[in-house]
Amino acid sequence: MTTTAAPTDLPAVRTLERTARVSLVRRVLRSPVGAVSLVFLLLVVLAAVFAPLLAPQDPDFASARDVLAPPGGDHLLGTDGSGRDILSRLLYASRLSLSGAATAVGVAAAIGITAGLLAGYYGRWSESVASSVSSVFMALPAIVVLLAARTVLGPSPYTTMIVLGVLVSPAFYRVVSAAVAGVRQELYVDAARVSGLSDGRIIARHILTVVRAPAIILAAGMAGIAITLQAGLDFLGLGDPQRPSWGGMLSDAFAAIYREPLTLLWPSLAIGLTCIALVLLGSAVRDALERSGRPRRRRRRDAAPPAASLAESVVVHDEPTGARAEELLHVRDLAVGYDQPDGSTTEVVHGVELSVHRGEIHGLIGESGSGKTQTAFAVMRLLAAGGRIVRGSIEFEGADLATLSEKEMTRLRGRRIAYVPQEPMSNLDPVFTVGHQLTEPMRVALGLSRTAARTRALDLLARVGIPDPQRTFAAYPHQISGGMAQRVLIAGAVSCGPDLLIADEPTTALDVTVQAEVLDLLRDLQRESSMGVLLVTHNFGVVADLCDRVSVMRAGRIVETGPTRAVFATPRHEYTRSLFDAVLEDTAPRGPLVPTTQGAQA
Amino acid sequence: MTDRLLGVEDLVVEYPARGFGKKPFRALSGLSLDIRLGETVGLVGESGSGKTTLGRAVLGLAPVTGGSIRYAGRDISRLGRKERRALASDIQVVFQDPYTSLNPALTIEQILTEPLTVRKVARPEAARRVRDLLDQVHLPADAGSRLPREFSGGQRQRIAIARALALEPRLIVCDEPVSALDLSTQARVLDLFREVQDSTGVAYLFISHDLAVVRHLSHRVAVMYRGEIVESGDGDQVTSRPQHPYTQRLFLAAPLPDPDLQEQRRAERRRLARAAAAPSVS
């Protein structure tokens, strides 16, 4: 190790994905639905703003001569039952509808977002108060309250919309407080607090950005509801009869439905299309936000070093003299690839060769992204979606696992090939007791009766060193510790007497004292049953403790392989040596602080 | 001691339990520790030992219910929000998880200027400072215009270190800063921590579960177990010749990367475990 670290952990990330900085508006415009709805809404807004200029006539001018005139001529959309020009009225009415909806949404957002931010950020009593109030509001029947408010406060459309805004504000509150409470736990918010940012600044910088998108989507839907509700009230004649409104026009047209049904069409179209555009815009925004996450994954796979440059020969250490036990697993030239959306395949493991003999623990060591877990999962044929074995063979007791059918594989997994995962807790179902999860596979795989499976499970739990098997058997996963959970999973893995055990970082999530006990357990079980074990790990200590043989992986290839003692004594590949150099266990301790260091006066 | 930077005395941290009448959870029970100027104090312990809580208490992120934390002679354990904010230029943090400790929506430059804006540093001055910081943690100068997700775990941790250094603090709380990193990356980031300390004289409270990491970086080491410090002292002594039974267990449980030495260590650990188990049985 040198102190002037030339950081080679800097892969050249030149092909930057700038999608995140392309503004949301542009991403929405790129989708046809988003573009059409946004343009339509813009036109409606413009029509409302410039209604006095656009309207061919005074909306309230009634001409007795032109009652229910058909479209065409002086009246582009015809006239209503009082002889007023429909187009002019429609244009003027859009002012009322839009400003009413804006009022409702504005009031709801102001109340809901503020309360949500405060409750989500500060929690505790502000949250309890805000939740109670919002629950009361949600329980109120909106239309009844609106009718009551109109009776008390008069028919002004704006008062009605303000009341509606207050009534629907809990929707904003719920969405925002949930989003904020989620971000509140992020470490970067803690880091901002430690940096000395005031609460207001933290909210503006780190929290509002998260809330923005769901708030836009919600506002779009809510505006649609406000327009419909307002039109409904006007249609019932509960609005202000002095001003043209879409609902009022609908009501007038309804009165003349037998004489001129066409007049019903125009206000209906205005209400319907505006609401549809609002809803579509909301979903276009949501789609645009979801799509932004996608390119990252692709880029990460591309970032893997080019295969050819590393295709050097594998360093193979000599076998110690003496016969090895029968070969259990032989992986030949295994390549694993993932199908990409564009039809190509990205290879992550390039031609791995390794063998596991009976009664032997083979360690597969490497850093993250080296392909060690992919190799292990390929042996079990449990690759993630899109992954497949591109070439090579996996011989296990005379069969080639690479070509077996899924049905034949299922018969092998659990019975002949068992698996111990890295995260014990996420591999136990929280809904079932430990006992149920242990006995179920035994009853299916070995055909044991309920009582026989239970006896065997209790024996196994005792065997893996669980102090009170009865209690653990009846416990749910959340009631046991991580170390206990890993013991339970090991008990489950060996319950059907497998020949090959695949352990993927089985102790990485555990404390070091628990790790030592679990390693002891794995060693003892392996000795007793003479299983073959393929152990995936990143820890040289674990390999030294447990493994008979070791293979070092890097960038999808094995670079060095041999008996553990030989590889550890004389690592020959440059990469293996660099890994050993990075090990800290054998470095000298730093020693006490010398009082006169140059920086001490700083 | 005149050069004492941080003094923790009889610190108690309790988290209120949910529901009435339940006893609060006591994460730290009467813990004392001090850090001198320019010193690295390593804090080792297993999960649930309270080591992260101690770090958060020093940062003002955990509720202190008893005892005191003195920074440069002044009690900082019960400061108001405003006074706490003023401490930002003295005490900083590097968190464990490099993936959630940087806001994914901000560029590196925005992340690094954040602490500077609080101090009302002018824009050109701040830009210059960001370039210096990136240089100090060995990141390319054009890194500023990129987003966190374009960097690997090790690089993100360098960015987090740069952010901590922005206000030139005298103490950085490092909460498991290398445990999410690969072996070779970990070594380089640890080297960076030492290099930064040598050039700035900053003190570290270095929290880790890994005895080897702590030993590599710490002048002094304290071992925590169930909310208390069970052993503390000179780094070499605590990590190579531990006295307390728990530290011994911790020491012997860490597997050595040498098959023969590890076999000896394993035998010794098992002997100790048997010795510990025997009296309790009889």
Residue A9 clears pLDDT 50, i.e. is over it: no
Put the strands of the sheet holding B4-15 in their side by side order. Answer: B25-36, B4-15, B64-71, B74-75
C-alpha angle A38-A99-A272 in degrees, rounded to nearest 5: 50
Q: What's residue B190's pLDDT?
A: 93
Distance CA B231, CA A600 (A): 26
Q: Determine what percent of chain B is predicted with pLDDT higher than 90.
A: 54
Q: With an 8 Å Cβ cutoff, is B46 touching chain A? A: yes
Nearest neighbour of A584 by CB, restricted to B59, B101, B187: B187
Question: How much is the pLDDT for B244?
Answer: 93
Average pLDDT across chain A, whole number = 85
Answer whether residue B109 is part of any domain. Answer: no
List the A557-563 sheet strands across, edge first.
Answer: A315-316, A557-563, A549-554, A361-365, A532-537, A500-504, A417-420
Q: Are A564 and B261 in contact (CB under 8 A)?
A: no
Which of B81, B109, B114 should one mutate to test binding to chain A, selecting the residue with the greatest count of A CBs within 10 A? B114
Out of B38, B87, B199, closest to residue A600 by CB: B38
pLDDT the model gives residue A467: 86
Residue A11 has pLDDT above 60, yes or no: no
Question: Does the pLDDT value for residue A299 go beyond 50?
Answer: no
Q: Are B29 and B12 in contact (CB under 8 A)?
A: yes
* pLDDT tens for each residue of B158-200: 999 999 999 999 999 999 999 888 888 898 899 999 999 999 9
Mean pLDDT of B149-160: 89
Q: What is the DSSP letter of A562?
A: E
Residue A353: pLDDT over 70: yes
Q: pLDDT digit string (tens) for A378-431?
A: 999 988 888 889 999 999 988 899 998 989 898 888 889 999 988 888 889 999
Nearest to A379 by CA among A397, A395, A365, A364: A395
Residue B184 lies in a domain: no
Q: Distances from the Cα of A271 to the Cαs of A52, A245, A249, A315, in angstroms?
A: 20, 11, 11, 75
Q: What are phi and psi of B97, to 5 degrees?
A: -90, 105
Mean pLDDT of A521-549: 92
| The pLDDT of residue B54 | 94
The residue with tokens 């009605």 is: A160
Radius of gyration of chain B measured on its C-alpha atoms: 20
Q: Which of B223, B236, B239 shows the shortest CA–CA distance to B33? A: B223
A543 touches chain B (CB under 8 A): yes
Residue of A nearest to B140 (CA): A10
Using CA atoms, how far apart are residues A137 and A302, in angstroms rounded to an integer? 52
- Per-residue pLDDT of A127-147, as tens digits, reads 888 889 999 988 988 888 888
pLDDT tier for residue A463 given thresholds of 50, 70 and 90: confident
Is residue B249 a part of any domain in this protein? yes
Domain of residue B266, residue span: 245-282
Angle formed by the axes of helices A157-184 and A208-235, nearest 10°: 160
pLDDT of amino acid B173: 95
Contacts of A541 (CB under 8 A, 6+ apart): A585, B254, B255, B256, B257, B262
User: Are the beta carbons of B40 and A197 separated by less than 8 Å?
Assistant: no
pLDDT of residue A595: 63
| Distance, CA of B72 to chain centre | 19
- Whether B261 is in a domain gets the answer yes
Q: Which of A357, A293, A290 is nearest to A322 (CA)?
A: A357
Question: For residue range B227-270, what is the model confidence (pLDDT) as tens digits?
Answer: 999 999 998 889 888 999 999 999 999 899 999 999 999 999 99
Distance CA B281, CA A44 (A): 84
Q: Which residues of A touch B89 (CB under 8 A)?
A: 196
Reported confidence tier of residue A312, pLDDT bands at 50, 70, 90 = low
Contacts of A236 (CB under 8 A, 6+ apart): A247, A251
The predicted-structure confidence for A81-104, as pLDDT tens digits, reads as follows 888 888 999 999 999 999 999 999
Q: List, for residues A554-602, the tens digit of each pLDDT value.
A: 989 999 999 999 999 999 999 999 999 888 877 778 878 876 544 444 3
Query: A222 to chain B, minimum CA–CA distance in Å?
Result: 27
**Average pLDDT of A103-118?**
93
Q: A298 or A350: whose pLDDT is higher?
A: A350
For B36, nearest residue in chain A (alpha carbons):
A593
What is the arithmetic mean of pLDDT over B155-160?
92
Q: What number is the ipTM of this complex?
A: 0.86
DSSP secondary structure of B106-169: S-HHHHHHHHHHHTT--HHHHHHHHHHHHHHTT--GGGGGS-GGGS-HHHHHHHHHHHHHTT--
Torsion sign, CA atoms A149, A150, A154, A159: positive
- Residue window 5-24, chain B: list those with CB within 8 Å of chain A: none
Task: Please give the share of chain A, as a percent, with pLDDT higher than 70.
Answer: 91
CA atoms within 13 A on the CB side of A324: 16
**Distances, alpha carbon A267 to alpha carbons A225, A270, A317, B148, in Å:** 16, 5, 85, 50
Q: What is the CATH number of domain A45-292?
A: 1.10.3720.10
The answer to whether A211 and A235 are in contact (CB under 8 A) is no
B234-251 in b/e form (b: 16+ CB < 10 A) is: bbbbbbeebebebbbbbb
Nearest to A214 by CA among A173, A176, A180, A166: A176
CB A184 within 8 A of CB A192: no
DSSP letter assigned to residue A479: G
In a domain, B251, yes or no: yes
Chain A residues with CB under 8 Å of B146 CB are 13, 16
Question: Distance between CA A202 and CA A208 in Å, rounded?
Answer: 9
- B271 interfaces chain A, CB cutoff of 8 Å: no
| Average confidence (pLDDT) over A68-81 | 82
- Lowest-pLDDT range, A84-93, A350-359, B22-31, B187-196? B22-31
Rounded CA separation A219/A341 (Å)? 34
- Number of cross-chain residue pairs from A and B with Cβ atoms under 8 Å apart: 244
CB distance A484 to A400 below 8 Å: no
Residue A12 is predicted with a pLDDT of 37
Residues 94-113 of chain B whose Cβ lies under 8 A from any Cβ of chain A = 95-97, 100-103, 105-106
Give chain B's domain count: 1
| Contact residues for B176 (Cβ-Cβ < 8 A; gap 6+) | B52, B95, B96, B207, B208, B209
- Taking contacts as CB-CB distances below 8 angstroms, the residues of chain B near A3 are 191, 194-195
Mean pLDDT (whole number) for A347-362: 92
SS3 A534: strand
Query: Any bridge partners for residue A563, and if so which?
Result: A549
| Alpha-carbon A547 to chain mean position | 37
Domain A325-428+496-582 top-level CATH class = alpha beta
| Domain spans, chain A | 45-292, 325-428+496-582
Say yes or no to pLDDT of A319 above 80.
no
Give me the pLDDT at residue B19, please: 66
As a whole number, mean pLDDT of residues A480-501 equals 90
d(CA A379, CA A358): 16
Condensed to tens digits (0 to 9), the pLDDT of residues A154-190 reads: 888 888 899 999 999 999 999 999 888 888 888 899 9
- Mean pLDDT on A236-265: 88
Cα–Cα distance measured from residue A295 to residue A20, given in angstroms and rounded to the nearest whole number: 10
CA distance B142 to A48: 48
Going by pLDDT thresholds of 50, 70 and 90, the confidence category of residue A48 is very high
Residue B189 covered by a domain: no
How would you class B109 by CB atoms within 10 Å of its CB: exposed for 0-12, middle for 13-18, buried for 19 or more? Answer: middle
DSSP symbols for B190-252: HHHHHHHHHHH--EEEEEES-HHHHHHH-SEEEEEETTEEEEEEEHHHHHHS--SHHHHHHHH
Q: Smallest Cβ distance to A592: which of B211, B234, B259?
A: B234
pLDDT of residue A3: 40
Q: Which backbone phi and psi does B37 adopt, to 5 degrees?
A: -55, 130
Contact B101 A3 (CB under 8 A): no
Chain A residues closer than 8 Å to B167 by CB: 195-196
Task: Quote the minimal CA–CA distance from B238 to chain A in Å.
Answer: 10
Residue of A9, A190, A527, A574 to mutate, testing the B interface (most B Cβ within 10 Å of its Cβ): A9
Nearest to A367 by CA among B186, B87, B244, B280: B186
**Average predicted confidence (pLDDT) for chain B:** 89
Q: Could you tell me the CA-to-CA distances from A268 to A215, A259, A284 in Å, in that order? A: 28, 17, 24
Position of tokens 């006007």? A234
Cβ distance of A191 and B185 shorter than 8 Å: no
What is the structure's pLDDT at A303? 39
Name the 3-class secondary structure at A114.
Answer: helix
- pLDDT recorded at residue B42: 95
DSSP states along A60-104: T---GGGTTPPSBTTBTT-B-TTS-BHHHHHHHHHHHHHHHHHHH
- What's the CA gap between B277 and B273, in Å, rounded? 6
CA–CA gap between residue B243 and residue B246 (Å, rounded) = 9
Cα–Cα distance for residue pair A106/A101, rounded to 1 Å: 8
Q: B128 vs B121, B122, B141, B164, CA distance in Å?
A: 11, 10, 11, 16
Bridge-partner residues for A134, per DSSP? none
